[in-house]
Structure 1
């Protein structure tokens, strides 16, 4: 009979969470590198390059792939022959491992978990508690799978209770375009079919822990109906032309994973959960011999790329004018320099409440730009930790008031804007710039200074002022209201369909 020591379990969980914060799974890197080599869309190719370069930097520097270091989910298969030498419950041990990992002084991770979610939403400060799933199995080992799931991709999770006669493929193809780009494609889609509502969601999440192998399945041919469905969905989702970061292109998903379970005759539950460009998970086994330290991957598995900004337009944020902004073209790459304000959900809510009460804001936004970001705390000599963008659509409901009442000139965030925000941007001759989700460490290297200006009590959601040098962004909505997240996928879906039909494409 195997005995698992409390400290061995805690240390192993903490080690694994640190490991996945800066090492992508190698199968993801190989899949993305293949997609990068095949990509024909310049905008999508640029985004993939940033993700791959960022990933290598994180692997070398042991800093987080994404500023959103995720909510921790742990899947445990505990052998019924296992004994525990522990004063803590299994969940308490998991949470102690999370606590140690996220407060590690050499690589502190962002605490994103809020208690009392419906009301006070107070940060727990150490990213606990985790979501723990326990299964008792035969044997005398403990199998552990840890994952850190970003909020942007988790927010795009979908569930439907279909009729038994409905088409799962039709539902997926109808639903994926409604998810926008906030889940940071290219990534994976996990699909759960059957069971009950909660079982389908669990199956979808578990499927995302499986290795990327769709090219192997295609090469040898599907072995069963589920593999046939995987291949069909992989091809048809990519034919939608959504592309990397929603900019339009050939690759939206690197794989589609499916798990199923028997269900009631009257039901067809289907869940779909995307994994983003910062996919993070690892698997290990405890057998009583001590803690587990995962073997670092070889950097030879990462492509060596350089980011070419030779054709980008440099912008001085300290002197930029509305006339300059009006000249920027959709899809154009800019390099931002100067002082950049930050603020996201909590700061925007507080500011718009103040404006509605007729109060003066603590920061002057006239002709300024605001970056939707919640950075990781710095370590060592860093000015700021990884600082990639958060999903911009969450700020849509604040956009018109901010533009019309503060003199704000532009915004920087992740993924698309909704129509209400696009209309407000057009009406106020402002602009929305997109930074690449999944390139947080790369972005942070462009930040040369950082100070809190207001709302310090909000922690990572406070208003900072960054001093940036050559921070890469793409014009996603121009001053005329043209959105590349609308035009890009439309163009590339048409290109793909033309190629399938054998119709020549005129440049």
Structure 2
């Protein structure tokens, strides 16, 4: 019987989590580079280019690809001929690995897990507990898939029980069309069909760990009914014109994964889980000979792409001199380079600010004529001003927009993905604007930050309000002061169905 030492198991998972925080899988980079080469939309091509540049920077600097370093998902296949030499539970062992990975001094990761989902929602501080799945299988080895799943894509998970005669492809395409851009496309769709409710979800999640092979599938053609469905969904979703970051373009998904399992004759359970542009996962096996080893990807895997910050047509904006004329001159799809003072604030900070306004009290920061960035950054390491600091999904702040704009005089909001109708109405009413930074380019964005300090709500941790000084931070106008949204006009232009 193969004996797996506790230390080898924990060390391997901890190192895997650190590894995937910094390195995209090589097959994902190849798929993204191919999408960059064939992209026809200039806005989407620019976004994909930023994601690729950010990915290479993270590989070189060994820093997180995204500020949302995700929830740890660990799928374990324990061979019946293997024995874990430990008296602790599998959950305890994995949690120790997660705790070690998230608290690593040379590359600290952002703790995003809250302990009580119903009431206090207090951050656990070390990203535990992990989401652990254990399956007993034939063999004498232990196979492990480790992934880190960000909240933006996880929040777009969908499930339905269709009638057995319904089309899975039709449901997936209709559903993806309603997801918006909060899952940070281009990415991968994981689909689980059959089994029970929980089985379908597990299959969808686990399928996201499979290697990307859509380019090969398109080249050789489908060889099974399952591959036919995968290819159909791939083509139809990309024909929606959603594009990178929802800006409109020819590539929304890089691959579609599909797993199925026998189910009840009256049921057709279907789970859909998207993976974002910060797709992070790795597979390893333990045979009792020691911990897993991970090979650093070759830098030649990344294409040579240079993001020109001084390209013609890019406008530089002084955030310390914002006025109505400046904001109202911006147009959807226009690229801006921001310099000056920028405040941060996301869900918890917005909730607290609105409660303060309702109580008739003054806020701890003056937002009149200012810009706020929806971000929860990673803690910096030595030599950094701030850790990776990419945008979070803006729609979660929609419920606060009217009261914040009316009560503070805020002029500009920066996040990722689209805004809802009510938020857009408020933006137009107050002649404000909403800008987007590229989700999946967190390390690249952080390099535009010249100074950072917490100025309010320090107890909220990564959700505290920071005052940043930025220089040439790249953003795009998503909603202008009239309420016109690039997330409406862009996809409509590129839709092919």
Q: Match of 1:283, SS?
A: strand
**2:475 alignment counterpart:** 473
Q: Is the 8 A contact 1:313 1:335 kept in 2?
A: yes
Residue deviations 1:416-444 (CA, integer Å, cap 9, x gap): 10111000000000000000000000000
**1:290 alignment counterpart:** 290
**2:318 alignment counterpart:** 316
**1:502 alignment counterpart:** none
Distance of 1:31 and 1:228 partners within structure 2: 20
Alignment of 1:67-146 (within 5 A): 67-146=67-146
**2:58 alignment counterpart:** 58
Q: Is the 8 A contact 1:101 1:109 kept in 2?
A: yes
Q: Is the 8 A contact 1:6 1:87 kept in 2?
A: no
Distance of 1:147 and 1:444 partners within structure 2: 24
Q: TM-score, normalised by structure 2?
A: 0.99
Distance of 2:278 and 2:370 partners within structure 1: 30
Asked whether 1:230 is paired with 2:219, we answer no
Residue deviations 1:65-108 (CA, integer Å, cap 9, x gap): 00000000000000111122223221111111111111000000
**1:464 alignment counterpart:** 466
**1:211 alignment counterpart:** 211
Distance of 2:422 and 2:293 partners within structure 1: 49
Q: Match of 2:321, SS?
A: coil
Residue deviations 1:165-202 (CA, integer Å, cap 9, x gap): 11111111111111100000000000000001111111
**2:25 alignment counterpart:** 25
CA RMSD after TM alignment? 0.7
Alignment of 1:296-307 (within 5 A): 296-307=296-307
Distance of 1:172 and 1:288 partners within structure 2: 42
In the TM superposition, what is the alpha-carbon distance from 1:231 to its structure 2 partner?
0.4
Distance of 1:384 and 1:194 partners within structure 2: 45
> Which of the residues 413, 416, 425 maps onto 2:415?
413
> Which of the residues 444, 455, 458 maps onto 2:457?
455
Q: Match of 1:166, SS?
A: coil
Distance of 1:291 and 1:261 partners within structure 2: 33
Which structure 1 residue ranges, 4+ long, deviate > 6 Å from structure 2? none
Residue deviations 1:278-307 (CA, integer Å, cap 9, x gap): 000000001000111211110100012111
Distance of 1:138 and 1:91 partners within structure 2: 21
Is there any run of 5+ residues in structure 2 with no aligned partner, and where?
Answer: none
Q: Match of 2:67, SS?
A: coil
> Which of the residues 478, 487, 490 maps onto 1:488?
490
Asked whether 1:199 is paired with 2:193, we answer no
Residue deviations 1:370-414 (CA, integer Å, cap 9, x gap): 000000000011010000000000000000110011000010001
Distance of 1:165 and 1:137 partners within structure 2: 33
Q: Match of 1:396, SS?
A: helix
**1:503 alignment counterpart:** none
**1:348 alignment counterpart:** 350
Residue deviations 1:36-56 (CA, integer Å, cap 9, x gap): 000010100010000000000
Is there any run of 5+ residues in structure 1 with no aligned partner, and where?
Answer: 498-507
- Which range is displaced more, 160-169 or 255-264? 160-169
> Which of the residues 369, 394, 397 maps onto 2:396?
394
Q: Match of 1:59, SS?
A: helix
Q: What is the total number of aligned residue pairs between the two structures?
A: 495
Distance of 1:229 and 1:84 partners within structure 2: 40
Alignment of 1:139-288 (within 5 A): 139-288=139-288
In the TM superposition, what is the alpha-carbon distance from 1:215 to its structure 2 partner?
1.4
Q: Is the 8 A contact 1:75 1:134 kept in 2?
A: yes
Q: Match of 2:320, SS?
A: coil
Distance of 1:251 and 1:138 partners within structure 2: 40
Q: TM-score, normalised by structure 1?
A: 0.97
Distance of 2:116 and 2:106 partners within structure 1: 30
**1:382 alignment counterpart:** 384
Alignment of 1:353-372 (within 5 A): 353-372=355-374
